[in-house]
Structure formats: structure tokens, C-alpha cells
Amino acid sequence: MSIVTRIAFQKEAVISALKVSFIVGIILNLINQADILFSLQFLRLNAFKVLLTFLVPYLVTIYSTTKTKLAFKIGEIAAISAKLHCEKCNETHTHVHKDDKIPVCPKCMENTNWKVQKIKELNLMN
């Protein structure tokens, strides 16, 4: 399973995405199909639109969560434990643990651009 897929299926990411999609999906359905909903003509509802108005916020939330967890910016706190390499110099490697402050590359300093090389022990149920 890829790194992105593993992060996307973490319990906390899925629950967060479901909450967002539920709230945003209801609001979008009320905006897009209010006339049908308020007139109680449910057979006229466009099932594809209903599905999309819940699916799109879910997917956007999963994408945002995954992208955020894979962004290792210097000075920020690591969302996951990982082995990183500096893309700027392509020489330096480091390990960070979840909740560690992300260091600078000793060669690149403020120009550090960390990329994930390997994720450590990512549990799908956490």
C-alpha cells in the first residue's frame, strides 16, 4: 500500500472527512436542490448530484489531510514519523518522530526541502 493510501485510510482522516462531507454535503444539497427538497418531491432528486455533493467534500478533506501530513516544513511539528531526505542538496537524510520539531538540513539551512523517503509504523487504526 502506498504512503498516500496509508495516510488516507487512517481512522482519524476518515472520521474527519466524513464529518466535513456530512455538513458540507447537506449545505450544498440545500443550495443546489432546495426547490425539490422543500417541496418534498424526493423522487425528482438527482441522485448523482446528491452523491457528488457528499463525495467531493470527502475527497477534498482526505486530500488536504494527506498533503498536510506529508509536508515536512522546517520548524513545524511532524504529523507522522518518517525518514526524510533533503531534495535541495539530495545528500542529507534524517529521521523525525511524530510530534518532533522538523530540523533544517545542515547543508541547505533555510532552503531545506524535505521529502518523505519512508514512513515509520503508520497504524491505520490511529
pLDDT band at 126 (very low <50, low <70, confident <90, very high): very low
Give pLDDT, residue 123.
Answer: 54
Give pLDDT, residue 1.
Answer: 67
Q: What span, in angstroms and rounded, lies between the C-alpha atoms of 76 and 31?
A: 38
Closest CA to 113 of 72, 78, 62: 72
Q: What span, in angstroms and rounded, lies between the C-alpha atoms of 32 and 50?
A: 9
Give pLDDT, residue 46.
Answer: 82
> Residue 72: pLDDT above 70?
yes
> Residue 45: pLDDT above 90?
no
pLDDT in tens, 8-18: 998 999 999 99
Q: What span, in angstroms and rounded, lies between the C-alpha atoms of 68 and 73?
A: 10
Give pLDDT, residue 42.
Answer: 72
Contacts for 50 with CB less than 8 Å, ≥ 6 apart:
29, 33
More confident residue, 3 or 55: 55
List 100's β-bridge partners, or say none. none
> Residue 69: pLDDT above 90?
no
